Amino acid sequence: MAHPALTPEGLRLCREMIAPHVHRTPVLRSRLLDQLSGARLSFKCENFQRGGSYKIRGATHALLQLQAQGDVPAVVTHSSGNFAQALSLAAHSLGIPAHIVMPTNAPAVKREGVRTYGGIITECAPTLEAREAAAEQIARETGALFIHPSNDPMVMLGQGSACAELLEEVPGLDCVVAPVGGGGLLGGTALATAFMAPGCEPVGGEPFAVDDAYRSLQSGKIEGNTGGYTVADGLRTVLGSHTFPVIQKHVRTIIRVEEGEIVAAMRLVWERMKIVIEPSSAVAFAAVLKSPERFAGLQTGILVSGGNVDLGNLPF
């Protein structure tokens, strides 16, 4: 049962609300990568977004919706990745304190990012139970409202605004490929295509190592991961109660890629397009490179989800 806000009008309102707070990022093309892939590629560059990823869209939308309902003393989330930075930045811009629960083993560069953007860090043991307990305790003690990094209808709708912009900028897209982790971006992308361009197919890209979304579509229920390692650190999460139904309804294809394919795709984009994209973004492009028969000649949108990379720890 879909959330009542997940409508064309909901997406329109969301875009209007967040517009003053997010960049309209550029769409880039590359003749050389078109030749190499056989597709006609349009890269939606959320690596140039505020905070370095699309996550600011959903974070901002969730915050503004909360504010529209009443006073928001503070917010809290648990994330060691881009959502932590995005919520810190979005909340800071709106004058709301943001508590971020991060595992003790989160990379220093991520903690630094959160602090730069004004987030208040609480450390916890690196388990899901410890994260959730810490977040609940903060909520109780401070009155902070909890915002999930992906499994939240307002977050998902906000993430869909990136695809909405892409569809407006490149009319006639045959498909849009997005990486899938928690499903916020792919779910939002699927909603945007369904609302604005029903002929455009949303496609997911996912590492083999954490192919829970692929298996969830096959089994018809939310599957977990068994702890496999992937360089695409943003995609280690699983689908949730809000994202899975949307993806199940609208997405027919998830393409899985190997670790080496992710790194090669990332390197190709850095070398040829001269832009810094993170491994999770490379997963979407790797999915296209891997499937020339599927994408041959197609107008293909690629959601470049972000560009937050630890330059001191590159996979090449």
Is residue 111 a contact point for a copy of itself (CB under 8 A)? no
- Tokens representing 39 are 């597709």
Residue type, 105: N
CA gap 261, 305 in Å, rounded? 17
Is residue 276 a contact point for a copy of itself (CB under 8 A)? yes
Piece of 87-95, 167-175, 206-214, 308-316 that binds a copy of itself (CB under 8 A): 308-316
Is residue 314 a contact point for a copy of itself (CB under 8 A)? yes
SS3 per-residue string spanning 88-154: HHHHHHHCCCEEEEEECCCCHHHHHHHHHCCCEEEEECCCHHHHHHHHHHHHHHHCCEECCCCCCHH
Residue closer to a copy of itself (CB basis): 94 or 133:
94
CA gap 54, 105 in Å, rounded? 24
Options 6, 40, 48, 76; binder of a copy of itself; rule CB under 8 A: 48
Place of tokens 């096959």: 218
Is residue 270 a contact point for a copy of itself (CB under 8 A)? yes
DSSP state of 53: B
CA gap 41, 34 in Å, rounded? 6
Is residue 27 a contact point for a copy of itself (CB under 8 A)? no
Is residue 179 a contact point for a copy of itself (CB under 8 A)? no
Helix (H) or strand (E) holding 253: strand 253-257
Piece of 12-20, 93-101, 166-174, 268-276 that binds a copy of itself (CB under 8 A): 268-276
Residue closer to a copy of itself (CB basis): 198 or 312:
312
CB of 274 to a copy of itself, least distance (A): 4
Residue closer to a copy of itself (CB basis): 46 or 201:
46
Q: Collapse the DSSP code of 184 into the 3-class scheme (helix H, G, I; strand E, B; otherwise coil) and give the result.
A: helix
Residue closer to a copy of itself (CB basis): 48 or 244:
48
Is residue 307 a contact point for a copy of itself (CB under 8 A)? yes
Q: Which residues bind a copy of itself (CB under 8 A)?
A: 26, 47-48, 52, 267, 270-271, 274-277, 307, 311-312, 314, 316
